[in-house]
């Protein structure tokens, strides 16, 4: 079961996730001007919302994380050492 957490301190209320999610998982909370999760059951973990959110405000828990063989581990190892 997917769990979605929104960091309300980070969310800037742009509504991009509401527009972008193909499965209507989010709705705007007009009073707070923040997004809210209304339909987590229909989340298919495509993570398009992560890609569009300018504030990196959401976290998806308990999902399948796709392989990312294109990530250059050697470069990342070097970066980890210096950052």
45 touches ligand SF4 by CB under 6 A:
yes
Q: Mark residue 62 as left, alpha or beta (left: phi above 0; alpha: psi -120 to 50; beta: remaining).
A: left
CA distance 24 to 35: 12
Q: Which of 3, 5, 32, 44 binds ligand SF4 (CB under 6 A)?
A: 44
Rounded Cα distance, 36 and 8, in Å: 9
> Which lies closer to ligand SF4 via its Cβ, residue 41 or residue 77?
41
Site residues for ligand SF4 per CB under 6 A: 6, 11-17, 20-21, 23, 25, 35, 43-49, 52-55, 57-58
């Amino acid at each position: 079961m997917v769990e979605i957490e929104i960091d309300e301190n980070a969310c800037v209320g742009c509504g991009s996730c509401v527009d972008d999610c193909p499965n209507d998982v989010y709705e705007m909370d007009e009073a707070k001007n923040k997004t809210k999760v209304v339909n987590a059951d229909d989340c298919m973990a495509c993570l398009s919302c992560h890609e569009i959110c300018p504030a990196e405000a959401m976290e998806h828990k308990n999902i399948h994380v796709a392989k990312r063989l294109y990530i250059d581990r050697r470069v990342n190892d070097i970066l980890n050492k210096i950052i």
